[in-house]
Amino acid sequence: MKHIDIKELYASPDKYVGKSVTVCGWVRTARDSKTIAFVEINDGTAFKNMQLIAEKGKVEEESLKSVMPVGTAIKAVGKYVESEKNGYEIQLEKVELLGACPDDYPLQKKRHTLEFLRTIPHLRARTRYFEAVFAVRDVLSHAVHGYFKRNGYKYIHAPIITGSDCEGAGEMFRVTTKDWNAKAKTESEYYKDDFFGKKAGLTVSAQLEGEMAAMGLGRIYTFGPTFRAEHSNTTRHAAEFWQIEPEVCFADIDDIIEIAEDFIKSIIRDTISACPDEIDFFDSWVEKGLKEKLNHVLNSDFGRVTYTEAVEILKKSGRQFTYPVEWGLDLQTEHEKYLTDEYFKKPLFVVDYPADIKAFYMKQNPDGKTVAATDLLVPGIGEIIGCSEREADLEKLKAAMTKRGMPLDGYTEYLDTRKYGSVPHSGFGLGFDRAMMYITGVQNIRDTLLFPRTVGTL
Ligand code: 4AD
Ligand code: MG
């Protein structure tokens, strides 16, 4: 269908002003008076709508009437002109109905609540809010790839179906082709005649495969869907989310912290410069002061504190927290928020967590109690990155696994990376959807995903 993108019209007015142009799109608003009609359309290419002006008598009446309902899909022909109010607009000559939109269309009003829009995820891409969300999601994804490309990382594709649980938190979704009523006495008997001949699940993290790739390719990253059957019904947990996981050889914990900070700043900078209209929109309507916040992040150093110091700060805060603060217990969201929102007031790396509350693969510190791991906490959200130097010593790694009751024979290939030419290496995982929340100010992870999957909702 020959037509011009609205984005192109706004971008190159010199080429089109005074000429006849054809555009397509969905009607966002329409007003009618005796002498004139205004129809605003959007085709998804530009954040800004295009206004069509129809002088009565100049456009065939029946066809004009047919395109007035909000949500109608149309094709329009007219002269592209400058206008005082809108910058540019189209003086309508001819309009054609592509798809009618009956009046039970749910998006009649100009503004709807996010809760309501969550009930119609298949239509919400037709609202300004979600247009902005998906524009930023696209740009942010490319910014991620751009950063790693510029810095010599190889993009690898790790499997989604896997037999090993990376985080060891028992949150894997199972993958099976067996009938629901299959009978078996033991777990291995049950899975023996399943599709893979053993228990399989959806990946909770691509890290283990990433490490194996890095141990030959040097620097890699993955960027893919990740699945966790957590029963956390919060605004920052999704059962299916996207994770970015770089893995870097010959890098210790300090090196990877430096990389993580540089990476976060780089993707924020790229997004601000590629999506100025969308960021303005979020700044005005979603999080007041968003631009200032992001610029502050770009222009200041992230904080750094040890877990042990963080526990002291929390204890001295005089705050009544719901969850206890004690050395050896994990930090809860309320603790993370106090540290980053109120105490440090900027992104914060908390380093050297107790080994017992972290995963088996993290490098054991000389103190015998903590591991070289860090979480990056950001104001308003809490943890967005989980990061660590990996335990490179085969015997220490095996001991950590045995302590956790993990079957060593299920991880033979992983252990081979430590057996054959082990090297210091480090990596992190950034929750992409949480990064979206941070950069846009969107409060609920459900509003950063096209079709959010959360407990009880598919
Ligand atoms: O801290 P996590 O569990 O770390 C890992 O999976 C490591 N294997 C990463 C690595 O070192 N390669 O998860 C990493 C990040 C979290 O910081 C969070 O941003 C995000 O993934 N995340 C979730 N995002 C949305 N919904 C959930 N249910 C999430 N669980 C983790
Ligand atoms: Mg974590």
CB 203 less than 6 A from any atom of ligand 1: no
The answer, yes or no, to whether residue 178 has pLDDT greater than 90, is: no
Strands 161-162 and 50-55: unpaired
Q: How far apart are CA 130 and CA 107, in angstroms?
A: 13
- Pick from 245, 225, 215, 241: nearest CA to 155: 245
Q: Which residues surround ligand 2, an ion (CB under 5 A)?
A: 386
The answer, yes or no, to whether residue 106 has pLDDT greater than 80, is: yes
Mean pLDDT across 125-129? 95
CB 222 less than 6 A from any atom of ligand 1: no
pTM > 0.85: yes or no: yes
CB 428 less than 6 A from any atom of ligand 1: yes
CB 347 less than 6 A from any atom of ligand 1: no
The answer, yes or no, to whether residue 184 has pLDDT greater than 90, is: no
Mutate to test the pocket of ligand 1, among 202, 203, 241, 453 (most ligand atoms within 8 A of CB): 241
Q: How does pLDDT run across 141-166, given as a tens digit for each residue?
A: 999 999 999 999 999 999 999 988 88
Q: How far apart are CA 393 and CA 341, in angstroms?
A: 37
Looking at residue 153, its pLDDT comes to: 98
Question: Are 348 and 338 a contacting pair, CB within 8 Å?
Answer: no
Looking at residue 188, its pLDDT comes to: 83
CB 427 less than 6 A from any atom of ligand 1: yes
The answer, yes or no, to whether residue 210 has pLDDT greater than 80, is: yes
Looking at residue 234, its pLDDT comes to: 92
Q: How does pLDDT run across 311-354, given as a tens digit for each residue?
A: 999 999 999 999 999 999 999 999 999 999 999 999 999 999 99
Distance 259 CA to ligand 2 centre (A): 18
Looking at residue 167, its pLDDT comes to: 83
pLDDT interval class at 202 (50, 70, 90): very high
Mean pLDDT across 71-81? 98
CB 376 less than 6 A from any atom of ligand 1: no
Looking at residue 253, its pLDDT comes to: 98
- Pick from 38, 42, 10: nearest CA to 26: 42
CB 278 less than 6 A from any atom of ligand 1: no
The answer, yes or no, to whether residue 189 has pLDDT greater than 90, is: no
Helix axes 276-285, 432-440, angle to 10 degrees: 70
The answer, yes or no, to whether residue 170 has pLDDT greater than 80, is: no
Is the pLDDT higher at 230 or at 397? 397
Looking at residue 232, its pLDDT comes to: 85
Q: How does pLDDT run across 239-288, given as a tens digit for each residue?
A: 999 999 999 999 999 999 999 999 999 999 999 999 999 999 999 999 99
Nearest ligand to the C-alpha atom of residue 230: 1
pLDDT interval class at 102 (50, 70, 90): very high
Tell me which residue has its CA closest to atom 23 in ligand 1. 431
The answer, yes or no, to whether residue 6 has pLDDT greater than 80, is: yes
Distance 246 CA to ligand 1 centre (A): 13
pLDDT interval class at 446 (50, 70, 90): very high
pLDDT interval class at 453 (50, 70, 90): very high
Instruction: Provide the residue type at 114 as one letter.
Output: L
Mutate to test the pocket of ligand 1, among 434, 438, 457 (most ligand atoms within 8 A of CB): 434
Tell me which residue has its CA closest to atom 17 in ligand 1. 385
Looking at residue 272, its pLDDT comes to: 98
Q: 420: buried, middle or exposed (CB in 10 Å: 19+, 13-18, 0-12)?
A: exposed
Shortest-distance atom of ligand 1 to CA 243: 21
